[in-house]
Amino acid sequence: MSTSDSETPRSLPLELWGGVECTVNRVGGSYFDQLERSGHARRAADLELFAALGLSALRYPVLWERTAPEGVERADWTWADERLTRLRELSVRPVVGLVHHGSGPRTTSLVDPAFPEELARFARAVAERYPWVEDYTPVNEPLTTARFSGLYGHWYPHGRDELTFARCLLTQCRAVALSMRAVREVNTRARLVQTEDLGKTHSTRALGYQAEFENERRWLTFDLLCGRVDGAHPMWGYLTYVGVKESELEWFLLNPCPPDIVGVNHYLTSERFLDERIERYPPHTHGGNGRHAYADVEAVRARAEGCAGPRALLKEAWERYRLLLAVTEVHLGCTREEQLRWFVEVWDAVRGLREEGADVRAVTAWALLGSFDWDSLLTRDCDRRGARACDHYEPGVFDLRAPAPRPTALAHLLRKLARGEELSHAALDAPGWWQRLERLLYLPEQKKHANAKAAAAGASATLGSVDARAKSGGANARAKTWGGNVRAGSGGGKARKLLLTGATGTLGQAFARACRARAISYQLLTRAEMDIADAEAVASALEEFEPWALVNAAGYVRVDDAEREPEACRRENADGPATLAEACAARSVALVTFSSDLVFDGSLRRPYVERDTISPLNAYGRSKAEAEARVLAVHPSALVVRTSAFFGPHDEYNFVTIALRALAEGRRVAAACDAVVSPTYVPDLVGVCLDLLIDGERGVWHLSNQGALSWAELARRAALLAGLDAELVEARPASSLGLVAARPAYSALASERGTLLPPLESALTRYFRERAATPFAARARMI
């Protein structure tokens, strides 16, 4: 990847790389293996999915701990042979990693003086077995690993002092240099792609000295390898003060190993803010240095002026080293549109820097398969197959919560980038959360008040404005939209809208709430503004708003009344969705509409999946079944979501809220004991539906929280969590409750396409937490 005299950064194509989260870290006597957690260790077919993205290179593990845990002589190369051979066949260049946040086999550690030589022996064996491999990352993020293992005590050897930190860092950097020496004795063309998390520390004026120290320390991996840490270096005095011998530092001056490519990993939380006014911050952020006590928080959450960001940090690296650069990790654990926005922001930053002459060669889509449990810094003791009780999964380019890795919108975006196509997804019309006002969690009270007033008034240019129809008041006052500007280079204009129906209903309001939180421009319509069963009204609305997608949250919901007025039910639940589908299909507008568990008759007595035969027992179920068929017949790309038993924190009329209110008042609650359902927490449902819509999913999908129980069991479980008397719940046969419409005795839902909603226990816990935070919680306090 050298630059010839005739080549400039502008003339060389910007490469798209990928990476698999492959950490094998040690906590005590346990190893936590992301390759096992993701299942990639057992799925060689994933490589075809990666190659289909158009990747030029793939950061890929041949890890010391996995390959040679009992020494190089007893190494098992079977896995690496299969995977690297297949990558070569697919014309994807591997960037081979040997240690990724690890500490080596059990016989060594990051403070073992023999670690560097032992890793070098393994590196030589890798090079001899795969002489065609040219790109290596012997140790990923040495500085970050040293902090977590030697300073903070999270990972083995669990040091909590400056000297152990320094030993861990120097051991890893020496291992990198010796490993590359060993590799190059086999393959003179071998290149070092050295990665490090490049953050930045900001502070108040009083803590400027601490920020200056940390901003010098962040370069140590690269400075050591480049042979820059001499007596005049700002970190020389610190390292020798904590106990490092001068001869240990001089070794790097005599044995420089500058990276061929400086690999920059940058995350939104990599930039920190230090503030001595600790009373403004929660206790878990408090720390100190012996001179000052201070809070250490994410800068993006505290600095109104924002952060340096990827472009500025990459420019600092370029100006410091003038070596080839690559962004070697781009990942954001968030909702789908934010993942898209973050990747595009980094991609655009790199393109801008290349225009200025910086030689940045690649951007890496990291965590192609997502990652597990980084919320706890990989410290929880989960079994290697992935105990569900401790999974915190962040999807990546592919979502593993399906029978096979499911491509998300990120996969579609990467394919476009690889082909050099223009990016046009409506999700990119708005700025990411890190650029919006609500990102700020830590502000003085007066600023919080001003911030709240500005947000309420729609005064922030970043957040956009209230739609003119909303400003007019009256019936349209509820139809507010996010109206942010589109990203630079997309042609200008206002953000494209997501059209929502069902303005007065629980689901429509929930979608509007989610769109506001996610900066998805939307228009929420009442029946008066668009009758979904009126073809002319639908056509008029689509022409006026020109939406990129439509979510139909309107419908007839009174199951028992539908028996008395089946035509009214059919009009809203079947004719309406069919009318929307026809109009959307004609205009290439994506559509989401909702069906129900009541399309089933309950005869299976096990959770229903999408391919099960439908056989509704009542008029309501028949209307939904008819809608499914008619919608998909005219709009095969539509997404039809079957769901059931709503409950949520923002309305007063769902079963859980009504039951808890009665129990709080000491009244008995009668509930069916012989009707089994899968309750669905509305915020979870709405969030996943928006992700699936952005992903471009289609067809029938079952979405409900994981769990199957009777209505009586649901009421009792909620009562116990609320601290109420569950004995007041009277479990009765459904036949005794005076219901007009026949209902299936068993209508629990499961999915063969993907289990995307969390377990019911999690949903109920969040229901109580979020309900307590709603403005009207005091009106119906349940605890």
Other Cβ atoms within 10 Å of 207 Cβ, number: 23
Distance in Å from the first CA to the final CA of the chain? 64
Per-residue buried b or exposed e for 312-342, using 16+ beta carbons within 10 Å of the residue's own CB = ebbbbbbeebebbbbbbbbbbbbbbbbbbbb
CA distances for 678 relative to 410, 613, 748, 750, angstroms: 30, 18, 5, 8
d(C-alpha 755, C-alpha 703), whole Å: 8
d(C-alpha 364, C-alpha 371), whole Å: 15
The secondary structure of residue 612, as a DSSP letter, is S
Other Cβ atoms within 10 Å of 550 Cβ, number: 31
620, 681, 746, 767: which one is catalytic? 620
- Residue 739: which residues within 8 A CB-CB, separation 6 or more? 560
Please check whether residue 626 is in contact with residue 634, taking contact to mean a CB–CB distance below 8 angstroms. Answer: no
d(C-alpha 383, C-alpha 562), whole Å: 50
Question: Residue 88 phi/psi, 5° resolution?
Answer: -65, -40
d(C-alpha 570, C-alpha 618), whole Å: 12
Please check whether residue 59 is in contact with residue 39, taking contact to mean a CB–CB distance below 8 angstroms. Answer: no
d(C-alpha 71, C-alpha 25), whole Å: 18
Token couple for 507: 């689901």
Question: Residue 761 phi/psi, 5° resolution?
Answer: -60, -45
Other Cβ atoms within 10 Å of 769 Cβ, number: 10
CA distances for 359 relative to 10, 16, 366, angstroms: 8, 15, 21
Could you tell me which of 488, 492, 781 has the C-alpha nearest to residue 657? 781
Q: Omega of the bond prior to 142 within 30 degrees of 0, cis? A: no
Rounded to 5°, angle at Cα 258 from 255 and 262: 155
Residue 281 is among the residues annotated as catalytic for this protein: no
- Helix, strand or coil, per DSSP, at residue 535: helix
Residue 508's DSSP bridge partners are: none
**Residues recorded for the chain:** 783
Please check whether residue 105 is in contact with residue 68, taking contact to mean a CB–CB distance below 8 angstroms. Answer: yes
Rg (the chain; Cα; Å): 29
H-type helices in 696-775, by residue range? Answer: 711-722, 760-772
Please report, as a single letter, which amino acid is at residue 81.
Answer: D
Token couple for 26: 């040690």
Q: Which residues are identified as catalytic?
A: 620
